[in-house]
Every structure is written in structure tokens, then in C-alpha cells.
Amino acid sequence: MSDQRLTILGIGGHVGDMELTAGGVLASHSLKGDRIVTLALTAGERGVPAGRDLADYRAQKVREAEQFAEMLGGEAIVFETPDGELQDSEEMRYRVCDVIRQVKPNVIITHFKNSMHKDHMTTHRIVNDARFFAGLAAMKRELPSHFASKLYYAENWEDAVDYKPYVYVDFNEEAYELWVKAVSQHWFVTGSKSFPYLEYYKHLARVRGIEARKQYAETFMVPEETMRVLQGGLV
């Protein structure tokens, strides 16, 4: 990695998606001085706890996104799109394109193509096209073009069909502890009765770390057209 400060943009279908699946790596980069930005295309408010007001929970989710980002010295953006109603539209592609041009990331992280959740799959398609639009100088928008050179798809238990780890990114205990503390600001991570999110992702980080012969790691897929290994010989 160069000494130049990186900007990393994590784009999820809901608040919490990128914080859980790529949070260790985001925390690690924040400790190195890199800039971290998260974008949630919906707040994910329809996971509202029983008896809670939907609008109040949405506001809470936005605060949780902001708290996570602030703990990493970064920024959080949450679109107003209702959870479960994300449209696979050109308009949404242009909106994400505009955020990419505003943030100017070197790296984008988003969902893998397959998922049990339609918002995740829709986000995947939107982000891939929005990244292309953002880098296209002939696509005239308010801001000038910007191309994010790296695109990664995070490992998510909901996006598991055909997902195969391609890139392992390790991080140390300090980053791990920062990530756990920051992601625990999200109620669903620690309070959900439907899935033990924090336990699952903490153990996954350790398992992937062991596979990489490191302490902790998170894995990512890359666009199929970039899946190549270059070397000068067989040894």
C-alpha cells in the first residue's frame, strides 16, 4: 500500500451491512489514517423491534450509522428510501454515481451478486453501474467524473450463494476491538433475537484469520473480469 491516504466507500443496502461485513477492515484502515465513508441505500428500519415506532427506529438507525462512522473518524450517508422498496432504477444509479463523485473513493465495497435479500442484490447491480457512470467523463453530472479503481464484494451470511473468498484482508487486535466497539452501537447487532450477528461475525473474522495464517481477517470477492493472477513463472 502506498503512503497516500486512501478513501474507502462502503455501500450497503441497509445501515449495518457494511459495518458488519467489512467493519474490521474499515477499522484497520481508519487506524492507518485512511478516510472511511459509508452509504446505506435504505436505513433497514423494517427490522424494527416489536412495539417500537417505525419512524423512531429509522431515526435510531441513522444515528447508529453516524456513531459507527464517527468512531472510525469517518462519515455516514443514509438515503431516505424505505427499507424493502429499493428500486433497481437509473435514477438510483445516478444518485449513487453522484455520491461516488462527491466522495472520490479509491476503493468501493458492496454486496455480492447473490442474496436472500432483494435489497442486497439490487444494491449490487446499482453500485456496479454507478461506479461505471461515475468514472465516465461523458456522463455529465453536477460533479466531474471519478473512477474508483478497486471494487470488492463483502462476505455476508445473507449473500452466501456461490460466494467464494478470493481476497483475504487481515487486521490486528486494535482494529478488531475498535470494530467490535463501533459495530455494537447498532441495536440489531447485539439485540436481535433472529440471528446472533455479533457472535457470528466475530467468529468469522477469527476463522478467516486462521485460514490466512493471521489473527483476524475479512474476505472479499472481486468482479469476475478482474479475477486474474499474474506471475513470471510457475515457481
Query: Could you give the domains of the chain?
Result: 7-224 (3.40.50.10320)
The dihedral formed by the CA atoms of 21, 106, 125 and 184, expressed in degrees to the nearest 10: 20
Average pLDDT over residues 216-230: 92
Q: pTM of the full predicted structure?
A: 0.95
DSSP conformation class of 157: G
**Predicted local confidence at residue 50, as pLDDT:** 86
Whether the per-residue pLDDT at 2 is higher than 70: the answer is: no
* Residues ≥6 apart with Cβ < 8 Å to 158: 115, 116, 117, 120
The angle, 0 to 180 degrees and rounded to 10, between the axes of the packed helices 197-211 and 173-183 is 160
| % pLDDT > 90, the chain | 92
Phi, psi of 232 (to 5 degrees): -80, -10
88-133 confidence digits (pLDDT tens): 999 999 999 999 999 999 999 999 999 999 999 999 999 999 999 9
Confidence of residue 1 (pLDDT cuts 50, 70, 90): very low
Burial class (CB in 10 A: 0-12, 13-18, 19+), 187: middle
- Distance CA(132)–CA(183), nearest Å, equals 30
**Predicted local confidence at residue 231, as pLDDT:** 83
